[in-house]
């Protein structure tokens, strides 16, 4: 046991995901030894993040104003939506610089084990946007796992009858990868999704 103020900080740090007791201890002593200013900046960035961040009223991306910077960007094509599970997935897709439409954050994926059904996802809001924004295609960019696949299937069944094109990110071999290291499921997907040359 450390003296109270340090032990309290260690306990708080150890509540963070992926941070064990040892790491929490190391971080706490780091924060004890850095410049006062540096420790204060970290604490204040936590508080100001909580105070300033809200969800975009249109796509539910995180933002510090009413609409996020992507929805505000007039150069983006509003007729193509990319549906993602979480706000942080948007940054990953943006980095490809291949997508110029807007996003829709579902807020998770369908997972009976975690008790998350379609009702907990922002599907009503997605359907409402189809008309409002004259959407012609929804790219479902949920994770390539059971929950993500289930969610994609559900979204497809929900939206197709409304006359919108629903697509899914391709699964297959990672670029620069090696056949030897591909797991069977990925290789199976790569086979079934093979393309004419």
- Residues at the interface with its own copies (CB under 8 A): 1-6, 8-9, 11-13, 15-19, 23, 25-32, 36, 38-50, 52-53, 61-64, 68-69, 86-88, 91
SS3 78: strand
CA dist., res. 135 & res. 132, Å (int): 8
Considering the complex, state which of residue 32 and residue 187 has its C-beta at the smaller distance from its own copies: 32
CA dist., res. 59 & res. 53, Å (int): 14
- Computed on alpha carbons and rounded to an integer, the radius of gyration of the chain in Å comes to 21
Considering the complex, state which of residue 46 and residue 146 has its C-beta at the smaller distance from its own copies: 46
CA angle 197, 156, 109 (to 5 degrees): 105
Considering the complex, state which of residue 122 and residue 168 has its C-beta at the smaller distance from its own copies: 122
Cβ 174 to its own copies shortest distance, Å: 17
Considering the complex, state which of residue 120 and residue 167 has its C-beta at the smaller distance from its own copies: 120
Q: Please, what is the angle between helix 21-33 and helix 4-14, to 10°?
A: 130
Considering the complex, state which of residue 26 and residue 189 has its C-beta at the smaller distance from its own copies: 26
CA dist., res. 168 & res. 153, Å (int): 9
Measured between alpha carbons, how far is residue 37 from residues 7, 43, 76, 127 in Å? 21, 10, 40, 47
CA dist., res. 195 & res. 193, Å (int): 7
């Amino acid at each position: 046991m450390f003296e109270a103020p340090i032990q309290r900080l260690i306990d708080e740090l150890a509540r963070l995901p992926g941070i064990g007791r040892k790491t929490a201890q190391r971080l706490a002593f780091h924060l004890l030894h850095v410049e006062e200013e540096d420790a204060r900046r970290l604490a204040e960035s936590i508080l100001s993040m909580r105070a300033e961040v809200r969800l975009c009223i249109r796509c539910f991306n995180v933002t510090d104003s009413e609409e996020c910077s992507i929805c505000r960007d007039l150069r983006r094509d509003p007729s193509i939506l990319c549906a993602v599970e979480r706000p942080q997935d948007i940054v990953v897709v943006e980095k490809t610089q291949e997508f110029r439409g807007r996003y829709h954050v579902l807020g998770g994926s369908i997972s009976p084990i975690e008790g998350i059904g379609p009702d907990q996802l922002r599907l009503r809001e997605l359907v409402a946007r189809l008309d409002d924004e004259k959407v012609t295609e929804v790219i479902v960019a949920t994770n390539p796992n059971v929950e993500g696949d289930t969610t994609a299937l559900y979204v497809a069944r929900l939206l197709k009858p409304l006359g919108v094109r629903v697509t899914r990110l391709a699964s297959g071999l990672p670029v620069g990868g090696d056949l030897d290291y591909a797991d069977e499921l990925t290789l199976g997907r790569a086979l079934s999704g093979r393309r004419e040359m």
